[in-house]
Structure 1
Amino acid sequence: MQSAPLPYRFRIDVAREDIDFMGHVNNASYLKWVQEAVISHWRGLAPPEAVAKHLWVALKHEITYRRPAFLDDDVVATVLLEKVQGARAFYETVIRRGSEVLAEVKSSWCCVDAETLKPSRLARDVIDHFFTKTDEA
């Protein structure tokens, strides 16, 4: 059996504040959206007791911009947890308008204990909430 990441869809509301002098979404807004999407992914799939005990700090974002987004666009981020290694998690987030890819983001995050703020490993049973078992082909 192999594990496959469970896709998590996060709807993005393009706000007037996201629009830059060129009339499309500023690149910095994509970073904000990815951070919101990954945190929502964690809160949406992890057990409540794990959410209460752990926080996430972004370590790195690598963004490839494909197309501009505009005010009133219907934008969705699809988040995948690629792997967890120690206290680090590696994500892929694809931001789309319909079938068009607007941006692709690879990011790494550090899990920290909510009380001590020190790096913290997740238990295997918590990590399992983010993956589905599939038959190997």
Structure 2
Amino acid sequence: MSEVVDVSKVAELDWDLPRPFVIELDVGDEAIDHYGHANNAEYLRWVEQASWEHSAHLGLTLADYRELDRAMAVHRHELDYLAPCFVGERLAMATWVIECDGRLTLTRRFQLQRIADGVTLLRARTRYACIALSSGRPRRLPDAFVKGYGDAVVTTDD
């Protein structure tokens, strides 16, 4: 479960980019693997969760995707696992749209930090391609996606 957080609550955390969209996450028992820390697949689930919550915040919900017969399908995930997290810890996941080509693709970056000490646990990047939900085939970004995601782009040096 997550809670959308006012950026001022996590402003003291050292984010990689300006204007992060941030959610807070609690590490529950279900996230823990046989090594005693959160499983790597859980980090990916949190990436997906932050993406959906940010999209909804931008006015692009699953209902909108269905109405437009479009979706942003993952083309590539890159996850750098930097440190473990453990049950009971409170985390902050930030995401940014760093590229929207206005035609077919968009790219997000992510940063996961432990709130107690500000340690960055994960940095990730995901590239998406727009598809038609009805066929799964690549399709041009609809105007609503170009506007919503395009207006959210944060410029980076990479």
**TM-score normalised by the chain length of structure 2:** 0.70
Structure 1 unaligned regions, length at least 5: none
Map of 2:29 onto structure 1: 16
Map of 2:122 onto structure 1: 103
More strand by share: 1
Q: Distance in 1 between matches of 2:20 and 2:48?
A: 16
Helix, strand or coil for the counterpart of 2:138? coil
Residue 131 of structure 2, aligned match among 78, 103, 112: 112
The question of 1:121 aligning with 2:143 is answered no
Q: 1:115 to 1:6 in 2, by over 3 A?
A: farther
Map of 1:46 onto structure 2: 59
Q: 1:76 to 1:17 in 2, by over 3 A?
A: same
Structure 1 residue 77, shift from structure 2 partner: 0.8
The question of 1:36 aligning with 2:49 is answered yes
Q: Alpha carbon RMSD of aligned pairs, Å? A: 2.5
Structure 1 residue 59, shift from structure 2 partner: 1.4
How many matched pairs?
A: 130
**TM-score normalised by the chain length of structure 1:** 0.79
The question of whether the paired residues in 2 share the 8 Å contact of 1:6 and 1:130 is answered with no
Structure 2 unaligned regions, length at least 5: 1-16
**Larger relative contact order (Cα-Cα within 8 Å, sequence gap ≥ 6):** 1
Q: Between the two proteins, what is the percent identity of the paired residues?
A: 23
Instruction: Return structure 1 stretches of 4+ with deviation > 4 angstroms.
Output: 47-52
Map of 1:64 onto structure 2: 80
